[in-house]
Chain A
């Protein structure tokens, strides 16, 4: 029987910031403790095995009130790829108008995740 090990995480699922303990036996998770809601338990499992993040950044927009439009990944992406994705998105340019939810880049770096606008911008 392999040794049990406890890892500590702080849940980022909501502002409560539950302090999680994830116990594993070397291969599998045995228990996730310290959560207040199911999201916390899920986060603990994921953070222990395959940490993922949603990335929010901006892209350039032409013909709008501001020079940039906010965007995000349509789903979570592997944590290790966050910087790479932000860099890949940096040079994207779109033309106003843009609608909330519209994809400005599809399947970013082969993750299967799109980059979508998080607001409407009108043409001015």
Chain B
């Protein structure tokens, strides 16, 4: 039997739509090409819930940024992921830039965004002493926040699945055709799955998916952003997200205090031709640290513990492309670059309404449960609570990852929640994300994956595919 809706692409937008649709009596399938959801743009991103004033009026981005922003508190309460409204500062170095701040403030005030204020330099440095003395003013927006974007994807899909959504991973869509009865036949490798409606959230590849169905000839390009994570000993050095005032010359390198308390600096923004080019570069590193030091002079390359690059999916005209296509029942959700993460919950509701307009009947799912079981963050519990849990299960007492203080039980839970790779464990628990970058714990995480999933060590990968970690030793001579 065909699914009612097939969602192509399990990034944050696909996962949010899947979860939104799980509120209704529908057969929903999410198809993801990587071995886990959130593995592309959604993972390698700045993790910012934007304040709501950035994107211009008259754009979809502008409409959905503030609408999305307001949905994150409920989402967090239901789905238990890291999110905190830490606020942001857009800083200005001269009077011209102050005028730009004021323009942004007024744009925000017209949207009735609360708390927007332009601070003078003295106030800025009182709140954030690490900011350069050359900063003369800043726009403060308390509505901005940070999330762990990969956790959001995991929580959304876990909840969607608990409410009946089907998930296919390691599944690349290779063709889409329409059968005589009007349903779509979607080729996934050697299999074919059927669906009455398709939502295309395929990120960098959403142009290819649209073309397969004859549902659009837009082009999506990849704009790369390199990010550099700093040692957590700098925790508290900067407390709010800090942006430079956008100028034609500067693409805007940010200081982001992540939800987990590390500082992240970046991203760069340069188009690349290859949609798989996630390389970090010496030039990117120079650009990031040179620019960030203008705003926060105390930041140094020496504190870098890891770097990565992500690719934004950019459509011509720079705006989101969300809406029905010339093919009835096929909805595009493309070009979702920043503020796509912020907007994702609003996009999900918009797409829901569009599906209804296209003829999908939305009958509430009476057994819908909006929440997930709360995960244990052992290190953040009170000692009494820790004692109780560790007495119940000694694996809470065994340290798994020292740098981030993750217990072995949390790692096992992550495996049972669906982690099949080292990255799967890392992005669910933070084990391996700290300053040793897995040097201490990855062998143990591999042992746990091997025993819990009953697979040999040689089949364990970093992130699926051919990313194996160890191989068998060569046989010697018979002794």
B474 within 8 A of A: yes
B366 within 8 A of A: no
Q: Which residues of A contact B475 (CB under 8 A)?
A: 90-91
Query: Which A-chain residue is minimally distant from B473 (CB atoms)?
Result: A90
Q: Which residues of B contact A105 (CB under 8 A)?
A: 479
When chains A and B are docked, how far (Å) is the Cα of A92 from the Cα of B478? Answer: 8
B248 within 8 A of A: no
Q: Which residues of B contact A87 (CB under 8 A)?
A: 476-477
Q: Which residues of A contact B478 (CB under 8 A)?
A: 91
Instruction: Bin the interface of chain A by size.
Output: under 10
Interface flags for B458-479 (1: CB within 8 Å of A; 0: not) read: 0000000000000001111111
When chains A and B are docked, how far (Å) is the Cα of A88 from the Cα of B479? Answer: 5
Q: Which residues of B contact A92 (CB under 8 A)?
A: 479
When chains A and B are docked, how far (Å) is the Cα of A86 from the Cα of B476? Answer: 8
Interface flags for A68-87 (1: CB within 8 Å of B; 0: not) read: 00000000000000000011
B473, B474, B475, B476 — most chain A CB neighbours (10 Å): B476
Q: Which residues of B contact A108 (CB under 8 A)?
A: 479
Q: Which residues of A contact B479 (CB under 8 A)?
A: 88-92, 105, 108
Number of A-B residue pairs with CB-CB distance less than 8 Å in the complex they form: 22
- Shortest CB–CB separation between residue A77 and chain B, in angstroms? 15
- Shortest CB–CB separation between residue A8 and chain B, in angstroms? 35
When chains A and B are docked, how far (Å) is the Cα of A30 from the Cα of B459? Answer: 59
Q: Which residues of A contact B474 (CB under 8 A)?
A: 90
When chains A and B are docked, how far (Å) is the Cα of A118 from the Cα of B178? Answer: 69
Query: Which A-chain residue is minimally distant from B474 (CB atoms)?
Result: A90
Q: Interface of chain B, helix or strand or loop or mixed?
A: loop
Q: Which residues of A contact B473 (CB under 8 A)?
A: 90
- Shortest CB–CB separation between residue B473 and chain A, in angstroms? 7
B473, B478, B479 — most chain A CB neighbours (10 Å): B479
Instruction: Bin the interface of chain B by size.
Output: under 10
- Among B431-477, those with CB < 8 Å from A are 473-477
- Among A84-124, those with CB < 8 Å from B are 86-92, 105, 108
When chains A and B are docked, how far (Å) is the Cα of A86 from the Cα of B479? Answer: 11
Interface flags for A14-43 (1: CB within 8 Å of B; 0: not) read: 000000000000000000000000000000
Query: Which B-chain residue is minimally distant from A108 (CB atoms)?
Result: B479
When chains A and B are docked, how far (Å) is the Cα of A69 from the Cα of B479? Answer: 17
Query: Which A-chain residue is minimally distant from B457 (CB atoms)?
Result: A67
When chains A and B are docked, how far (Å) is the Cα of A89 from the Cα of B478? Answer: 8
Q: Which residues of A contact B476 (CB under 8 A)?
A: 86-91
Q: Which residues of B contact A88 (CB under 8 A)?
A: 476-477, 479
When chains A and B are docked, how far (Å) is the Cα of A105 from the Cα of B473? Answer: 20
When chains A and B are docked, how far (Å) is the Cα of A42 from the Cα of B477? Answer: 33
- Shortest CB–CB separation between residue B367 and chain A, in angstroms? 47
Query: Which B-chain residue is minimally distant from A87 (CB atoms)?
Result: B476
When chains A and B are docked, how far (Å) is the Cα of A87 from the Cα of B475? Answer: 8
Query: Which B-chain residue is minimally distant from A91 (CB atoms)?
Result: B476
- Shortest CB–CB separation between residue B470 and chain A, in angstroms? 12
Query: Which B-chain residue is minimally distant from A68 (CB atoms)?
Result: B473
When chains A and B are docked, how far (Å) is the Cα of A90 from the Cα of B475? Answer: 7
When chains A and B are docked, how far (Å) is the Cα of A92 from the Cα of B476? Answer: 9
Q: Which residues of A contact B477 (CB under 8 A)?
A: 87-88, 90-91
- Shortest CB–CB separation between residue B153 and chain A, in angstroms? 36
When chains A and B are docked, how far (Å) is the Cα of A86 from the Cα of B474? Answer: 12
Query: Which A-chain residue is minimally distant from B476 (CB atoms)?
Result: A90
Query: Which B-chain residue is minimally distant from A92 (CB atoms)?
Result: B479
When chains A and B are docked, how far (Å) is the Cα of A50 from the Cα of B479? Answer: 26
When chains A and B are docked, how far (Å) is the Cα of A86 from the Cα of B477? Answer: 9
Q: Which residues of B contact A86 (CB under 8 A)?
A: 476
- Shortest CB–CB separation between residue B475 and chain A, in angstroms? 6
Query: Which B-chain residue is minimally distant from A84 (CB atoms)?
Result: B477
A86, A88, A108 — most chain B CB neighbours (10 Å): A88
When chains A and B are docked, how far (Å) is the Cα of A108 from the Cα of B475? Answer: 17
Query: Which B-chain residue is minimally distant from A115 (CB atoms)?
Result: B479
When chains A and B are docked, how far (Å) is the Cα of A87 from the Cα of B473? Answer: 11
- Shortest CB–CB separation between residue B448 and chain A, in angstroms? 16
Query: Which A-chain residue is minimally distant from B478 (CB atoms)?
Result: A91
Query: Which B-chain residue is minimally distant from A60 (CB atoms)?
Result: B473
- Among B39-59, those with CB < 8 Å from A are none
When chains A and B are docked, how far (Å) is the Cα of A90 from the Cα of B479? Answer: 8
- Shortest CB–CB separation between residue A66 and chain B, in angstroms? 11
When chains A and B are docked, how far (Å) is the Cα of A63 from the Cα of B478? Answer: 22
The 6 closest A-B pairs by CB, nearest first: A90-B476, A91-B476, A87-B476, A88-B479, A88-B477, A92-B479
Mark A residues whose CB is within 8 Å of B. Answer: 86-92, 105, 108
| Sample of 17 further A-B pairs with CB below 8 A, known A88-B476, A90-B473 | A86-B476, A87-B476, A88-B477, A89-B476, A89-B479, A90-B474, A90-B475, A90-B476, A90-B479, A91-B475, A91-B476, A91-B477, A91-B478, A91-B479, A92-B479, A105-B479, A108-B479
A sample of 13 inter-chain contacts (CB < 8 A) reads A86-B476, A87-B476, A87-B477, A88-B476, A88-B477, A88-B479, A89-B476, A90-B474, A90-B475, A90-B477, A91-B476, A91-B477, A92-B479
